[in-house]
Amino acid sequence: MPEPLTGRAAPTGHKEIKHVPDTHDHARSGGDRLALRADCASCFGLCCVALPFAASADFAISKDAGRPCPNLQSDFRCGIHSRLRDSGFPGCTVFDCFGAGQKVSQVTFGRSWRDEPDTAARMFEVFPVMRHLHELLWYLHEALSLPAARPIHSEVRGAIDETERLTMGTPGELLDVDVAAHREKVNVLLLRTSELARAGAGGRAPDHRGADLIGARLRKADLRGANLRGAYLIGADLTGADLRGADLIGADLRGAGLGGADLTGCLFLTQAQLNAARGDAATVLPPSLTRPAHWPEHWQAEAAPTAGRAPARRPRSRERRR
Ligand code: SF4
């Protein structure tokens, strides 16, 4: 694991890296990933029932797994959806099921846990499995949108086919899936994708895979093509940082200051990661992602949480990817 940069100046020594273009074929990645975007209207509110959470800066209350959140309405919609942050539930705005909720609701089961209480426990067990698989599909489709990864596109397509086949299993078959083994297999492809895509950054991009960068001062850091897989960037000050072409898969960006940062062409960056960070109107986003509504016009670094005061994480079914 590389040495943490916490408290040090922005890294130097890779100034020779030239412009890093956005390497994604966005028309392709957007079209193929529509089914992997959460459609809450087609879901039985699974993330609001199946998952537990603890009272913290992210959640106003504690809730056990399998118990419906008191804010979940009879139509499976959230009663405080438009004011989640103001109501003490910012953790709900940074969760993404990658479309697993509607798949389990409409394809795997078809009837809700309220209509068929006997199936509820099984449905709640299947949901995290499906989420794992859909998250992998999300990343694999992104890999397919990267022309630089063309040498392994046939293997990526094979992994997509296999993963999609797994998602179509019965509840019993889904619960038998060796998720860890499948993730490991897919991760090999994602790592190779990252290497191929970042090779264009000059070969001397910084490697901070899995690094502890909590609260790090990385203002205006040159992180073009950096490997930030699974890095802990909680509360880091990345104001004005150049993150073009960086691999951010699984990076923890909670409370990270991204005001004015350039995220063009970032690899494997998700909307949930962005929602958990703090950017502003000057943050340059990849075309496939949306500027979170709660971001201010101008980011104030002083408002970022300091190291050691990280918000609590909603228990998720995903492992950190490195
Ligand atoms: S507050 Fe709303 S979005 Fe969050 S768990 Fe409860 S019902 Fe779901």
**CB-count burial class (<10 Å; 0-12, 13-18, 19+) for 245:** buried
Q: Which residue has the tokens 């809700």?
A: 112
Are 170 and 139 contacting, i.e. CB atoms less than 8 angstroms apart? no
Ranges of each domain in the chain: 27-199
Structure letter (DSSP) for residue 53: B
The rounded distance, in Å, linking the Cα atoms of 228 and 248 is 5
Distance in Å, CA 86 to ligand 1 centroid: 13
The rounded distance, in Å, linking the Cα atoms of 160 and 73 is 35
Determine whether the shortest distance from the Cβ of 51 to ligand 1 is under 6 A: no
pLDDT of residue 34: 81
Q: What is the pLDDT along the chain (322 residues), one digit of tens a residue?
A: 322 222 222 333 333 334 445 566 655 555 568 889 999 999 999 999 999 999 999 999 999 999 999 999 999 999 999 999 999 999 999 999 999 999 999 999 999 999 999 999 999 999 999 999 999 999 999 999 999 999 999 999 999 999 999 999 999 999 999 999 999 999 999 999 999 999 976 657 899 999 999 999 999 999 999 999 999 999 999 999 999 999 999 999 999 999 999 999 999 999 999 999 999 999 999 998 999 999 988 877 654 444 333 344 443 333 344 4
The rounded distance, in Å, linking the Cα atoms of 42 and 38 is 9
Ligand 1 pocket check: which of 56, 73, 83, 92 to mutate, most ligand atoms within 8 Å of Cβ?
92
pLDDT of residue 202: 63
- Residues in CB range of 181: below 8 A, 6 or more apart: none
Determine whether the shortest distance from the Cβ of 138 to ligand 1 is under 6 A: no
Determine whether the shortest distance from the Cβ of 69 to ligand 1 is under 6 A: yes
What's the pTM value of the predicted model, to 2 decimals? 0.84
